[in-house]
Amino acid sequence: MVKKIAAAILTMFSIAVWAEPQVKFETSIGDFIVELDSQLAPVTSENFLHYVEDGSYIGSQFHRVIPGFMAQGGGFDTQLKPLTTNPPIINEARNGLRNSTATIAMARTADPNSATRQFFINLADNQFLNPTQHQEGYAVFGKVISGFETVQMMAKQPTHTVGHMSDVPVTPMIITNVTIID
């Protein structure tokens, strides 16, 4: 009996220790939940959670959506003005996580260590975004675990070009709330 109780306590403890952060996005088109992988992408997860906790993703929009590729957001307000960023983080693309369907990764410039607040959700297996011997890749740090149909619905909305930005949804898809789920 004591062994069973000890095993049950140990199991509960391991689940509590290894539980990964989950973040719920509420958007003007629907909701979805992302589970982070803070074990394999600790710097990226911490950076992302900072923007979640300070509330600055609220009111931003998915500003670039390409069917069969990805939905990108977190960096621009409803008027497509860039939002304030923290300093760039190191690229954790070599963490073993792959740019597969429903994963979330950091957007960046040509500089591999330039990611700040923008993220994208893969709508397909985008293996060409993974690191290779000759390219650094894009750091995956979690996956959509609920509501992926919302992200897929984003890709069905018409897009256009606004200034220098292409693939901008005609009807803005706004992040109305984002919270860490306990």
pLDDT in tens, 91-106: 999 999 999 999 999 9
Q: Kindly indicate the confidence band of residue 11, based on its pLDDT and cuts at 50, 70 and 90.
A: low
The 8-class DSSP code of residue 167 comes to E
Q: Which two tokens stand for residue 132?
A: 């290779």
Give me the half-sphere count of Cα atoms (radius 13 Å) on the Cβ side of residue 171: 9
Tell me how far apart the alpha carbons of residues 35 and 62 are, in angstroms, rounded to a whole number. 19
Q: How far apart are the first and last CA of the chain?
A: 31
Matching residue, tokens 């621009």: 76
CB count in 10 Å sphere of residue 173: 21
- pLDDT of 7 > 90? The answer is no
Question: What stretch of H or E contains 130?
Answer: none
